[in-house]
Structure 1
Amino acid sequence: MNTTVNIDQERLIADFMTLVSIGSHSREEANVAAYIRGAVEELGYSVEEDHAGDIVGGNSGNLIIRVPGNPEWATVLLMAHMDTVAPGHGVRPIRQADRITSDGKTILGADDKVGVAGLLHLLTVLHSTGEEHPPLEVVFTVCEEVGLLGAKALNRSQLKASYGFVFDSGGSLGSIVTQGPAQAKMRAAVHGKAAHAGMAPEKGVSAIEVAGHAIANMRLGRIDDRTTANIGQIKGGFATNIVCDLVELFAEARSLDDDRLRAQQEHMTQMLKDTAKRYGVHADVEWTASYPAFALPADSFLRDIATDALQRMGLTPQFVHSGGGSDANVISSKGIPVLNVAVGYQQIHTLEEWIALDDLIGSARLMLEMIRAASNYERRS
């Protein structure tokens, strides 16, 4: 990797370990937001907090930091999210020889505090070097883990950015997500008919049985190379001596292709309704769009910027599509083309989550090289 970039490795590691120690479940990001605010204001930059907290019912809004740069160049957006999944309170990070883990009782929170720590370090480096760079808008969002709610609440009119980078993808450095799926969520109610399970079961229609047959006939899991679907939760029934008359199902479908997503939704809906009809009962099915797909064109200049940055570090860019949603989906839909950049965290959302020290340091280097590559692009434009 390029060793000419200005990385204070020990400070970066210490900042990361402090950040993960601060609990910040979705809608509870205020403490980590306060830490970010203190670090940024110490550099002399102001921090704006929007009204996302009020919109999502949390204790903090999104944070926006504007860093002046060459006024002749386009403004660049940089993003990471502050929230984590549970269990994320009481994290005790453990530094091992080559990685950082939790103590096994909680997640680590590298998703996405690697992104947060790296961006804070980037601001420190740019402040200390005084090097020329584009104007920057650094945004730390809330509630990414519960439906990208912070990014959805972000007002586009507050941003001047022409393009940007989201630092919130797992896996090896060099991986760049240029396409992500749309997601739709389903809530269904299968209505059966109650009866005494011992005295008159034939007078009842079990909603559990109906739902079970419908699910057994659904195409679920990996549908094709662009589409997935999953039944995530089933609720119903009160007692073993009552034929269950109501079952609720909660499910999702995702696809990189809007037509395939619609087809999967229609298939799941039809399985529920047709099965219920055969039993002489009915099913109510409601779908809600969670977030749109995003896709960066193959000839986008953002690919060139990313390639330049990665090659400066001796890394080979791997442009991939993802099965997961991120703030990139929402920001792209607001008219700002973005890439979602891998920052190296592994086994996220589990108690085994970890980040290699080399990748923690490398992700910060990559952020700096992205800005330097963007500067080179602006000079050529």
Structure 2
Amino acid sequence: MSKEKNIIKGRGAQLNVRNKFLEASHETRDDFLEYCRLEGEVADKNKTSYLEVFPKTIVNKVTSPDVGMAYSMNPYQGCEHGCIYCYARNSHEYWGYSAGLDFERKILVKKNAPHLLEQKLLSKNWSAKTIVMAGNTDCYQPAEQEFRITRKCLEIFLKYKHPVAIITKNAFIRRDLDLLKELTAHGLIAVNISITSLSEETRRVLEPRTASIKKRLETVKLLSENNIPVNVMIAPIIPAINSHEILPLAKAVKEHGALSIAFTMVRLNGAIGEIFTDWIQKTLPDKAEKVLHQIAECHGGSLNDSRYGVRKTGEGKIAEQIHNLIRIARNTYFKDTDFPKLNHSLFEMQRHKMKYNSNGQTSLF
């Protein structure tokens, strides 16, 4: 820990909040910290651990009416990127962990995801519907460099000519350019790159282990130059932190080849409100009250907003100003560009073909 500000470096969350599903909770007491100091021991090694889990399914039906996707899949649970605002933090509580530091340091790895995906695509009742990779946690987070699960899943999508979309803020997606180009040739891929700010200082504070802004813009350019359709997520927009950057961000991503932009307002549901409040009071104390007040103003006076249709866009004067800026950005930079629809027509024929081997006999699937 930093002695100056008592800040855990390289992490977003600065504490482990209590898991609402567990009776017991873990607390780091001052007397323990003092003992470690006197003994010359490290109280918290701040290491990331990878834990293999064995889910029975990998494709999830999304029932929320305002999310904008029908099906998602997540090769990893938890995310080492450490974005302080991440809505996925709450999902870590279902696995028995904290939405705070545990979310960033205990990464659950689903090595059987490619097999489960193939089983799903071969099931009798499945018809082609776009599956979004990383609907919850980033499929190109640092764990992917070791486990390569996302790449193996993309190989399955290509094998069966099935449409897939990706959401990421990691430039590591460039490793899979070969597969992305093949998927693009059949109209099967859409990529969403999240860029929250043009400021590296802001990025390091909000998203400590993500790719730099420069690398993300370069990724948008590389994908676009290879005709891979890219939408940029200016998300989330946080009043008094990055809300002033909407127009310059839109201009920059357009110049790098993005076809469209999308946005969401920050919302601090569940445990995230406590995590974010603790974080901003420690890292941006001069701005803390202003930011928290303006976030609440966008959500009916509360940091927590679960109302469908409003929770992602916000309401009130500040939200209205942000909506107007997004409208101006789209009209100025994206009026003449269209984001292509994915191809759902190839899958059934390809699946039928894959069910038969070279001897004309059906496979075990």
TM-score, with length taken from structure 2:
0.27
Structure (1 or 2) with the greater strand fraction: 1
Which structure is larger by alpha-carbon Rg, 1 or 2? 1
TM-score, with length taken from structure 1:
0.26
Which has the bigger relative contact order, CA under 8 A and spacing at least 6? 1
